[in-house]
Chains A and B, each alone.
Chain A
Amino acid sequence: MKRMSPFNVVSLTVGFAFLYLPILLLVIYSFNASQLVTVWAGFSTRWYGELLQNEAFLDAAWVTLKVGLLSSVVATMLGTMAAFALARGGRFRGRTLFSGMVYAPIVMPEIITGLSLLLLFISLGVPRGVFTVVLAHATFSMCFVCVVVSARLSTFDRSLEEAALDLGCTPWDAFRSVTLPIIAPAVIAGWLLAFTLSLDDLVIASFTTGPSATTLPIKVYSSIRLGVSPEINALSTLIIGLVTVGILVASVVNKGALLGARNT
């Protein structure tokens, strides 16, 4: 085994310290007894208690969860279909436009996507609320799902499917018993990505929501405009904890697929 050079060790140490120190400080200070966020005054779980009694945050969390679940399921179905269309669809008409529309939303500034969707909903007279946010989130996260599933499909050995068909499977049976199990980890990774993207989104939700549906990021944003608060630290710690546990469990369950997801 090669030894790592000191330069490489330093790069990794500095890099990961930079990535993790801010999160670590946030978590530590969420257990601070003081109202002043930056002055340590002893250990306390007081802010977690106050958080759980804050109706506005709980309502927003519920809206966010609803939007996240609905939009991620729709995005997973659409994104998987899009991945199949690109990988197996052959040279259909408008393919270039299609693949352009799949890749563009990934780098498109959210502010443009948000504005354009809002103007669409208004010109169609659709009342804004949970439904419109779900549509908006499903649209941009389906592209991420598509990229993740495409990556898996491109390494897929098609002779397995052909063998199933030769052995008398109907195309549907072959899909269900051969293709689906093979791409399942990528589909799950795509779903997880769509779900976390939805939970996280502030800009697109701000544009496409109505007064009836305030999501958690919108609520968090409006309170951090007023500065740091121990309650937000506690909320952040809860979110970070949940996401970390979720990701670690998922990555143990299907090794590698998540890594592939982020690599594309």
Chain B
Amino acid sequence: MRRLLIAIPYLWLLALFLVPFGIVLKIALSDAALAIPPYTPTLALDEGWQSVREFLSQLDLENFVFLGEDALYWKAYWSSIQIAFVSTVLTLLVGYPMAYAMARAPRRWQPALIMLVILPFWTSFLIRVYAWIGILSNEGYLNQALLAIGLIDQPLALLNTNVAVHIGIVYTYLPFLVLPIYATLERLDESLLDAARDLGCSRTRAFWSVTLPLSRPGIIAGCLLVFIPVIGEFVIPSVLGGSDTLMIGKVLWNEFFANRDWPVASAVAVVLLFILIIPIMLFQHSAMDKREVTA
């Protein structure tokens, strides 16, 4: 019974999560063939060692060399990391004060406030990104409002720029950051703050030297929950970004659906995964720490 309980989800994840990565790796290492599906060697284990050796000899790093030589890919990785980093910082700047204010709000309001943060998260991601097209476009509500109050004479070009991408990311990922930070702030022992005050700290000083360090686990978890998925984000740059918004998720999508070059798309995915391994492990570490604490 216990074995079955472990085995079923285990095998499911092995078959549908781990094995597929193996296949991606394999295809990334193989040549593009003209046939469909466009990749060549398949491992035929029943033919014994001969086929394994043959298989290994066919593997090459051609696709990775190709990625390395073409500046487009490096630029796309680098710009994804930059966009993700800037957006994470912006999300933190908006989200931390919110989480802080929520934790300081009267107890009986807190469930309602949490609900208000969560609710947008449950409604469609795509729709929430779409909502910004109407706001940011040249004839959009924001430009209408700014023109009406006379702050600008000409509509600002916001849609199809990186500014729009940043706004979209902050907007859609905000709940991911607010909730973990709120969770740490809410548990914060207030007597520590009283102690800091008694010892002559100003409010500001107490915040910087007590509250902020103690909320670090929440900040780290929240930032990783934003940073990691944003690096591979596809929907936001393709809906709100412009033709010069370079993000690796978009490149991968085009490589796959437009150019139909599967080996290159796979190689792009493998490199992306390598970039993400360290942040993902950090995230798992913090998620498991949390489990240990609550257990």
Stretch in B46-54, B55-63, B99-107 touching the partner? B99-107
Interchain CB contact under 8 A, B94 and A135: no
Interchain CB contact under 8 A, B94 and A18: yes
CB contact between B13 and one of A9, A36, A139, A259 (< 8 Å): that residue: A139
| Most chain A beta-carbon neighbours within 10 Å: one of B97, B122, B234 | B122
Nearest chain-A residue to B110 (Cβ)? A259
B209: A residues at CB distance < 8 A: none
Chain A: residues with Cβ within 8 Å of the partner, total of 93
B100: A residues at CB distance < 8 A: 8, 11
Q: How far is the CA of A84 from the CA of B131 in the complex (A)?
A: 40
B154: A residues at CB distance < 8 A: none
A85: B residues at CB distance < 8 A: 5-6, 9-10
A19 within 8 A of B: yes
Interchain CB contact under 8 A, B235 and A29: no
* Min distance, Cβ B272 to any Cβ of chain A, angstroms: 6
**Contact residues of A: prevailing secondary structure:** helix
A-B pairs, 3 with minimum CB distance: A109-B232, A116-B20, A8-B101
Interchain CB contact under 8 A, A100 and B291: no
Interchain CB contact under 8 A, A81 and B114: no
Interchain CB contact under 8 A, B232 and A110: yes
A224-B130 contact, Cβ under 8 Å, with A8-B105, A85-B10, A101-B13: yes
Chain B: residues with Cβ within 8 Å of the partner, total of 97
Interchain CB contact under 8 A, B106 and A116: no
Interchain CB contact under 8 A, A154 and B101: no
CB contact between B229 and one of A4, A11, A99, A109 (< 8 Å): that residue: A109
Which residues A144-187 have CB closer than 8 A to chain B? 146, 150-151, 154-155, 171
Interchain CB contact under 8 A, B235 and A203: yes
B262 within 8 A of A: yes
1/0 per residue, CB under 8 A from A, across B18-59: the answer is 111101100100000000010000100000000000000000
Q: How far is the CA of A36 from the CA of B139 in the complex (A)?
A: 10
A56 within 8 A of B: no
Interchain CB contact under 8 A, B124 and A22: no
* Min distance, Cβ A84 to any Cβ of chain B, angstroms: 6
| Most chain B beta-carbon neighbours within 10 Å: one of A104, A150, A225, A251 | A104
A111-B269 contact, Cβ under 8 Å, with A23-B131, A102-B13, A247-B122: yes
A61 within 8 A of B: no
> How many A-B pairs with Cβ below 8 Å?
257
Interchain CB contact under 8 A, A263 and B179: yes
A12 within 8 A of B: yes
B249 within 8 A of A: yes
A117-B16 contact, Cβ under 8 Å, with A37-B134, A262-B175: yes
A82 within 8 A of B: yes
A108: B residues at CB distance < 8 A: 228-229, 232, 276, 280
Q: How far is the CA of A147 from the CA of B139 in the complex (A)?
A: 43
Interchain CB contact under 8 A, B17 and A259: no
CB contact between B171 and one of A18, A139, A233 (< 8 Å): that residue: A18
Interchain CB contact under 8 A, A19 and B284: no
Q: How far is the CA of A73 from the CA of B23 in the complex (A)?
A: 28
A239-B123 contact, Cβ under 8 Å, with A8-B100, A119-B24: yes
Interchain CB contact under 8 A, B130 and A236: yes
Interchain CB contact under 8 A, A150 and B24: no
1/0 per residue, CB under 8 A from A, across B124-151: the answer is 1111101111110101110010000000
B1: A residues at CB distance < 8 A: 171
CB contact between A22 and one of B135, B239, B294 (< 8 Å): that residue: B135
A129 within 8 A of B: no
